[in-house]
Structure 1
Amino acid sequence: MIVLIAPEEDVPNEIEILHQLFNAGLQYYHLRKPFKDLKQHKEYLNKIKPEYYNRVIIHHHHELINSYNLKGIHFQEQKRRDTIDNPTRYFKDLNMFGKTISSSFHDPEELNSCYFEFDYHLLSPVFNSISKKGYKGRGFNVNHINKTIVGMGGVTAENLSKFNTLGYKGIGVLGGVWNSKNPLEAFKQINEAYITSLKNRNND
């Protein structure tokens, strides 16, 4: 699986590019816009074609899952720590039937010991971040953890086999797509290389 994280700040023609990415096969789009309020989130979602809502996972304003047919919700690390101890109370007003629940982690052992069953987990930074300068990769090996873990940090078309070797079931991309001159072509290259890496892993 390939997870694409939204750029924090809007980029020119972002929605147009996003539709192109969906057309190119993007299945997991994490809408992470920390500087947008509820109204601005709605405005952003209203620009997306409704047939693509079921590929969008929202990081903030989880209540939007009730009014848009989104794929799921995502917990940032601190939000998870603050709320997941009482999940029944948190989820009681959210229509989560058939939806995904995921969360961010920065420590593989905290991920491993987390009792809540997320559908998948984002772990970073695996390699040096492209979008966050000075965010050094830590080369986490997760082969010993029996959970679906998506590796983030420094993803390029050239290093995908390393993520497979380290035990990841998917990759998370941000700067590798949005910081490129042509986000669509960058995604296509990463997607093609990822498919190839999976075939090679299955043939081993």
Structure 2
Amino acid sequence: MLIVITREENTEDEVAVLKSLFENGLQTLHVRKPFMSKTDLEKWLLNFSEMHHQKMMLHQHHELCEIFKIKGVHLTEKQRSTLENRKVYIEKFQKKGKMVSTGFHTVAELEKEGSIYDYCFLSPIFNSISKENYVGKQFNINGLHQKIVALGGIDSSKITEVKKLGFSGVAVLGHIWKSKNAVKSYVQMKKKYEEVFKI
């Protein structure tokens, strides 16, 4: 899996850039818009086609899966800690054919809770590109059986190491959005990812 996570803030060219990423083969986009109201996120989603929606994982306003044909939902750490019956909530989506993901910051936590999700992020692997003082831990997860996606400080040069550490995939944020050309950066990363992961 090669996943792109949206910026938190909206930019003028965002919709056009995301459509270009989809045109260039992006299969999973994590829509992370913590400051958007449900109404604003609904309006934002209307910029995209049903084909695009089927490649999106929502971090907020999961109920929009009832309106749009969304790929699935992502549970943030805060959502995980406040949900009363997490397993029932997750299964509600999975029974409808939706994927459910989450993220962890320690291997122990992931081993304890990760099996009920379709895949999990583990971060930070390397020093973050988008967050200051977010120091990488280079987790080695060879031997774990969950589907685990590496997040944090990943650019094309780190993909080989990510594979050696035992990860099933890669999620990117800063490398794409802090580059001069997001689409070009994604295309280069996709090429390297496919070489390393033999896609």
Rounded to whole Å, the distance in 2 between the matches of 1:84 and 1:116 is 18
2:100 aligns with 101
Change (3 A) 1:62 1:196: same
Once the two structures are superposed, the pairs formed by residues 186-197 of structure 1 within 5 Å of their partners are 186-197=185-196
In the alignment, the residues of structure 2 paired with residue 134 and residue 86 of structure 1 have an alpha-carbon distance, to the nearest angstrom, of: 31
CA contact (8 A) 2:93 2:100 kept: no
Q: Distance in 2 between matches of 1:87 and 1:198?
A: 31
Deviation string 1:93-119 (CA, Å, 9 cap, x unpaired) is 768511100001111110011165110
Q: Does 1:74 align with 2:79?
A: no
Which secondary structure state, in structure 2, belongs to the residue aligned with residue 159 of structure 1? helix
Contact persistence 1:102–1:121 (CA under 8 A): yes
| Aligned 8 A contact 1:53 1:70 in 2 | yes
Matching residue of 2:23: 23
Question: How far did 1:159 drift?
Answer: 1.1
CA distance in 2, matches of 1:77, 1:131: 19
Judged with a 3 Å threshold, the aligned counterparts in structure 2 of structure 1 residues 163 and 91 are, in CA distance, closer, same or farther, namely: closer
Q: Give the match's secondary structure for 2:191.
A: helix
SS at 1:110 equivalent: helix
Query: What SS does the aligned partner of 1:57 have?
Result: strand
Give the structure 2 partner of residue 132 of structure 1: 131
SS at match of 2:149: strand
Distance 1:73 1:107 in 2: 21
Structure 1 CA distance for aligned equivalents of residues 9 and 96 of structure 2: 31
| SS of equivalent to 1:158 | helix
- Tell me how many residue pairs correspond in the alignment: 199
CA-CA distance at 1:144 after TM superposition? 2.6
**Could you list the runs of 5+ residues in structure 2 that have no partner in the other structure?**
none
Structure 2 SS opposite 1:26: coil
- The residue number in structure 1 matching 2:47 is 47
TM-score normalised over the length of structure 1: 0.92
Indicate the residue corresponding to 2:13 in structure 1. Answer: 13
- Taking the aligned partners of 2:137 and 2:16, their CA distance within structure 1 comes to 34
Q: Percent identity?
A: 34
The one-character-per-residue Cα deviations of 1:144-203 (angstroms, maximum 9, x if unpaired) are 31100000011111110000010000000001101111000000000000011113xx9x
Residue 126 of structure 1: CA displacement?
0.2
Alpha carbons 1:66, 1:95 under 8 Å: kept: no
Please provide the CA RMSD for this pair. Answer: 1.8
Unaligned ranges ≥5, structure 1:
none
What is the one-letter code of the residue matched to 1:4? V
SS in 2 for 1:150: strand
